[in-house]
Each structure stands twice: as C-alpha cells, then as structure tokens.
Structure 1
C-alpha cells in the first residue's frame, strides 16, 4: 500500500543569535564619508556623497571664505563664535524679547510726584462711614443713659425707697405710707402700660370719692405720652447703637472705643451743665422743664390734690439727683474704660517712643 499522507514540512533549524558584543568594535566610522577630512573632502576609499546631500555643508565667513560646517552642536557654536568680528558683540541667539519702547517711557517728574501724593493721601484718608458711625454713637450715648435713668426712677422700687427713706416729708392730709405706696404704684404703672385714662380715672379712695380729678388724669395722660415716647426713642437708639458697634468692630479698629469715649465726655458735659442749672435755681429749672413738654396751666395743682400729696417737691428733687448720679457714674466708668492709652490705641514700641517725644516737646 502506498502512503499518500502528506509529508510534514521540514522544520527550520534555529538560527544562531546575532553577535551583540561591541567590545571588539573599533572607533572607525562605518562609512568613509562620515570621517572628517582635513581638506573638507570625503575619503576616497568610500562614496564621495551622502545619500541625502551633495557633501558637507559650508558656511561663509566675514571675509567671503567658505569653511566646512561642523556636524556637532559644540562645533557649530564654536564656528559661530569664530565668525563674529573681533570687538563686536552681537545680540544673543536665544535672548528674551525686549520690552516695547512705549513701556520704557517715564512720565514727567511732576506727574510722578502728583501720583505719589494722591497715593499717600488715599492711604492716609479714613473712610467716611466709620467716622459717621462714631459721631452717631457719641451723640446717642448720653441720650440712652438719660432715658435709662428716667426708667430707673419710674419704677415701684424707687417709689418704695423714696417713701420709706428717713426725712421724706409726710402727707398733711391723711395719706399714710401704705396709702402712698398703693396709690402711687397705680400712677407709676400707668406711665409704662398701655391702659387708657380710665386706669386712673376710676380709682376711688377709702371714702368712696374719686382719687384723681379730671385735670390730674389729663396731665398724667400727657406725662404718659412723653414717657412712652422717650422709652421708644431710647429703644430705637439702643438698636442703632448696637448696629453701629457691630459695624465699627468689623470695619474700624478702635472705632467703638473712640465713639464711647467721646460719648462719655459729652454725657459729663450735659449732666454737669444741667446739674449746675438745677442747683442755681431748682424752681426755675423745674418750671422751664415742664414748659418744654406740657401746655401752660395743665401741670399746676393745689396742695390738697392727690398728685401733689403723692409726689411732693422733694420727690422730684430726689428723682433728679438719682438720675444725674446714675448717668454720671456710668459715664465716668465708660470714660475710664475707653481712655485712649497707648496699649488700647495699639501703638508699637517705635510709635510709643515717637508719641512720647511729641508729648515731651
């Protein structure tokens, strides 16, 4: 039988790996045209031309002679340096672009001085809003203290202290201390609540007669309007002061301290001025004060009227003294706490020495 099965192809024998050892290679170039020739011509033993050029490139010097162009970067740099004329320095090959001539033009000296002066004045100038806030805080501070002082004396506590203190004049028409405290508390409460005139008009004494006359109730309604207006203005000023303080704490270093310091000084001036007027003529001061807020003839009463029996002249003298004392104490404390010492002003050692020299001069 004949075996017709295909004969397997002969396997190729493995080829030996190429020799990669370069230790025995010489330094001679692989082609003769790659070797440098002293005359600039290629070696005669090999091809005289490169595959992609007609020969080594040549450069022309300043005298018109041509010289072979070096093939290496270092050689080209050396050749370029040799071509430059002696004593002349050309621009660098890879230099940064020069600025334009327009940017090099300096403005006149007067313009420079003017700009510097404007820059310095702008740096030294303070914003207007913080100054306005400081002035508002200084103006509102004494008004707030006066309103708080008035609120302190229009309270049952002050009324009790006043009726029970030694030396307070008694009532010659029969009111005891307990009667004064009871009826006086109604009058004081009426000044700070939202009740109408009937709150006082419907009160009766022990004998069943009305406690306050119509003229007294009408005057107390006028007093209530003044008192509530003062309290409302005080609350509004306190709110504005809080906003001013919050703004100055964020925008002006030491602005709160300066505003309160000026306000305390203004408060002392007002209190001392009013106190001097009251001491020199209390009756005249009391009369002029009532004329400012009340119509003439609506605030004068007889000695047997309830308002005079509850609130005699000594009561108003004591109330004025308490208001002035409270405001004066708070203003003095504020003045001490905000006094502009060097530490509070935040001066450095050098600035403190300069300030001390100025004060010594």
Structure 2
C-alpha cells in the first residue's frame, strides 16, 4: 500500500513557480552568442540532419575509405564549433561599437604633432613661480633695508651711540642722560600714533620749549615717511610668506628666489656704500631731497635735533644699516646657494 502511494506521489507534475514565463533568450540579435544562433537554426536544420544520419551507414558500408574520411570530417566538424565557441565566447560579452571611426588611426603627421605638443607641455615650466621669484629678487633688498632701519630706530641704539667711545659730546650743555632722555622721546614719536604735541609740549629745565615749531614740523614729516616705510615692510613680509606657501611644493624654488634677491641686495648696498664714501655730504643731501622735497630739514647747530643727532650719528647709522643688510644677504647667499639638483627641479 505504501509503495502505491509513493508511486502516485512520483507521478504528480512539478509546479512551475516562475510566472514571468521569461526565457534566457537575449533581447537583441547582436547580444546572441554563437550557441544561441546555433540553437535558433537547429529546428530548421533538423530534417536534413536526420536524412544525413540515415544515409551515413550506407555510405560507410559502400566504402571503407569513405567511412574513414567521413569519421574524420565528422570528428573535425564536432571539434570546430567547440573551438569557435571558445574564441567567440569572450567577444559575446562586448557590445560592438556604434561606429568604426574611433578605431581609425590618425595620420602619422598628426600623431607626431600631438606627441610633440604633449612633450612640450610636460617640459614647460609654470609662469607663476618664475614671476614670484623675480618679484622676490626685487623686493628682498627693500625688506632687508627696512628691517635694518627698524633695528636702528630704537632707544637701544641711541644708548650704544651716546656711550660708545669717541662719540662727539654736546657743546651746548646736554649731558649724556639728557641726550638719552630727549632722544628717546624723538625716536618713540616716530613709531607711535601721537600727534605733534608729543614733542611740541616738551620743555627744558629752564622752561623753554625743547623743540622749535620747525623741528616739530620736520619730525612730523619724518614720522609719516617712517610709518609708511614700516607698513611697506609688513606688506613685503606678507608677500614673502605667501611666496613660501606657493613655492614650497617645488624643490628649491623659494631658495632660488631668496638667492637672487640676496645678490641684488648685496650689489645695491655695495653701490650705495661707494657713493656714500665718495661724498657723504652729497649723499646725505640727496637722500633728504628725495623724501623731504619741501626743504625744511636744515637746522642750526644750536637746535635740539642737531644736538641730539649730530652728523656722526647719521654716519654710524648708515654703517650699521649697511653692515646688517650685507650680513643677512651674505647668510642667505650661503644657505640658499642653488645646487645642481635644485636647479633641475
């Protein structure tokens, strides 16, 4: 009884759960592989194949050689579709190009022209780094000179000057302490934002004004020049910081800019030093005429500015500014000397 039930269960048809009735047939002809094409043409060629199968034994019986040849042809015919299918199987997954124009090679002249353009573009160096290096070479002398002037325009330099051996004294009664006190007022005025009263209200122990109106007016002009110079120095410093941020990714680019600027600085300072040595009075006069064209910078020997800042003070200041600038530029030349490797980058 159990055997009969099992047999009935085996005879029940399998239920198809796929309701889409979809097949594995590709949607387009160009997507069909050789196997699909062969399967689609199989029903049409079934009848000739059946006829060929019935005639094959007769041909084999009539001629043994023919049987041997037929078996070889049949064997090669069975192997050829397998070989073709293995070679075309990979091509079946590639969608054919809609046009064959992309597969055409351009003329040789065009190929050489494009190759030359690519090589020239690869060898060409960007313009921006070159421009920054040129600007660095131009601006570095001014930055170093402004920094040196800022170091000299301090009460500390006044102290060194007034107490150094050989510095001329005041023939009108100022002691070293008086000079240091009044001179510090004048130097501080150049760097602060106070008005003219900062110097105009100063008086001597006798009650008379320390500075005349002409002296206060000249110091106000000097202050405007000094403040503009300091502002320019800050802008130049910002420029060099930005240049460093831009050029740091290029090996040796920032150093080459500093090196070129140091050479320019060295030559410029040496040239100015030669002019100053050949004629200090002419050099000092021309310098004041550039910045104070109105001509209110000449005073008498008894005026406070001359007593505080005699001619020797300006000579020493020029020497210190020149030496500091040459020292810094020389150090930059030594440490930024371009090597062969950095020059090639």
TM-score under structure 1 length normalisation: 0.71
* Conserved? CA contact 1:57–1:69, under 8 Å: no
1:103: Cα distance to partner? 3.5
For 2:75 and 2:324, the matched residues in 1 are separated by 94
- 1:214 aligned to 2:213? yes
CA distance in 2: counterparts of 1:247 and 1:301, whole angstroms: 49
Q: Which residue of 1 aligns with 2:204?
A: 205
User: Structure 2 matches for 1:64-213, cutoff 5 A?
Assistant: 66=52, 78-80=76-78, 94=89, 96=91, 101-213=100-212
Q: Provide the C-alpha distance between the structure 1 equivalents of 2:188 and 2:80, rounded to a whole number of angstroms.
A: 111
Structure 1 residue ranges, 4+ long, deviating more than 4 angstroms after superposition: 12-15, 55-60, 67-70, 80-83, 92-95, 97-101, 343-347
CA distance in 1, matches of 2:88, 2:320: 92
Q: Distance in 1 between matches of 2:115 and 2:55?
A: 58
Residue pair 1:191, 1:227 contacting (<8 A) in 2 also = yes
Aligned to 1:41: none
The answer on whether the counterparts of 1:69 and 1:76 sit within 8 Å (CA) in structure 2 is no
What is the 5 A alignment of 1:55-70?
58-59=48-49, 66=52
Alignment of 1:344-359 (within 5 A): 344-345=342-343
d(CA) in 1 for partners of 2:271 and 2:278? 11
Q: How far 1:76 sits from its partner (Å)? A: 7.6
Residue of structure 1 equivalent to 2:224: 225
Gap change, CA 1:202 and 1:106, over 3 Å in 2: same
Which region of structure 1 is more displaced relative to structure 2, 121-130 or 337-346?
Answer: 337-346
Larger Rg, first or second structure (1 or 2): 1
Indicate the residue corresponding to 1:305 in structure 2.
303
- 1:344 CA displacement: 4.5
CA contact (8 A) 2:259 2:336 kept: yes
The count of corresponding residues between Structure 1 and Structure 2 is 286
| TM-score of the pair, normalised by structure 2 | 0.74
Structure 1 unmatched ranges of 5 or more: 1-11, 19-52, 84-88, 348-361
Instruction: Choose between structure 1 and 2 for higher RCO, CA contacts under 8 A separated by at least 6 residues.
Output: 2
2:289·2:295 contact (CA, 8 Å) conserved in 1? Answer: no
Aligned counterpart, 1:290:
288
- Residue in structure 2 matched with residue 27 of structure 1 by the alignment: none
CA RMSD of superposed structures (Å): 3.2
Change (3 A) 1:207 1:95: closer
3-state secondary structure, aligned to 2:247: helix
Counterpart selection for 1:266 from 264, 267, 283: 264
Q: Kindly indicate which of the two structures has a greater share of residues assigned to helix.
A: 2
Equivalent position SS for 2:210: coil
Cα distance in 2 between the residues matched to 1:94 and 1:76: 23
Q: Distance in 2 between matches of 1:302 and 1:274?
A: 27
**1:18-73 deviation line (CA, Å, top 9, x unaligned):** 9xxxxxxxxxxxxxxxxxxxxxxxxxxxxxxxxxx9x976549xxxx945799xxx
SS of structure 1 residue aligned to 2:110: helix
Gaps of 5+ in 2: 8-42, 57-72
